[in-house]
Amino acid sequence: MIILYFIYALGLGGSALDVIKDDVKTYVVDPARANEVVVVLDEVEGIMSGYDKQIDEIHVDIERLNADYDSSDEQYNAVQEKGHEIVVELRSRILDQRFKMKELMTREEWIAVFPPLESR
């Protein structure tokens, strides 16, 4: 869930991520911990930026294959597998960041910043 939340947040040009950072600064009681969480969120933003570049490269590869009459299934499968590996790595890295944030926040702070879906 949190992975999709970050992807959604970063897909909005960072404005939603800025809201999350503001919420962290509001709800995380200790300013030092709040700053550490914001650093983790900045790392997430960097991860997502790198992911976007890699996905753009996959799209270019697909466009090249589409333009080549002689492209084979094997070539498409290789590009598809590369894309899958990128997504799996992204999920893992984002999940690692989620657990870093969890260690820095109390349960109450977490719920304030990331409210359960049913309460929205």
* pLDDT reading at 89 higher than 80: yes
Furthest-apart CA pair in the chain: how many Å? Answer: 61
* pLDDT reading at 4 higher than 60: no
Two tokens, residue 103: 């260690």
Cα end-to-end distance, the chain, whole Å: 14
How far is Cα 120 from Cα 112, in angstroms, rounded to an integer? Answer: 11
pLDDT digits (tens, 9 = 90+) for 41-87: 999 999 988 998 999 999 999 999 999 999 999 999 999 999 999 99
What's the chain's length in residues? 120
Global pTM reads: 0.77
Is residue 55 within 8 A of residue 86, CB to CB? The reply is: yes
Residue-level pLDDT at 12? 45
Say whether 14 sits in a helix, a strand or coil.
Answer: coil
Residue-level pLDDT at 117? 83
**Which contiguous run of DSSP H or E holds residue 64?**
helix 31-67
